Amino acid sequence: MTPPSPSQPKRILFVCVQNSCRSQIAEAFARMYGNNTIEPYSAGFRPSGKVHPKAIAAMRELSYDMTQHRSKALSEIPNLKYDIVVTMGCGDECPAVHAKHRAAWDIADPTLLPPEQFRAVRDLIGAKVKDLLTNL
């Protein structure tokens, strides 16, 4: 396991169930707001194998292209010590990942919501990521 050096970007891992929506959106916002000071990752403990089309469309509205993102299992991400692991909606099922800090964001899966409500969840995730980065 590689520890971060003082000059390395902060490593953040966003975890949800399928890594198809919430954690993907959070990773995208971390890339948008991180100004190269963040090394964001996302994964799921039961990955779907694809990024949800609603997530891609919602981020496209903000000029972020998620078409190159892919749904990943926790076993596919680097074995690093993360500065923070943020879990979203997986409760007690979220596996332990080596991290200095942990946060649990109770954000419901928005995939079945209509577009306006989906955007509200996207914007909530964006605000939480912005707040997280401000307080790192």
Q: Catalytic annotation on 94?
A: yes
| Catalytic residue of the set 16, 56, 58, 74 | 16
Cβ-contact 127, 108 below 8 angstroms: no
Structure tokens at 26: 């959070």
Adjacency order of strands within the sheet including 10-16: 38-44, 10-16, 82-88, 99-105
| Catalytic residue of the set 25, 58, 86, 94 | 94
Q: Catalytic annotation on 21?
A: no
| Catalytic residue of the set 15, 88, 90, 107 | 90
The H-or-E segment that residue 132 falls in is helix 115-134
Cβ-contact 52, 23 below 8 angstroms: no
Positions marked catalytic: 16, 90, 94
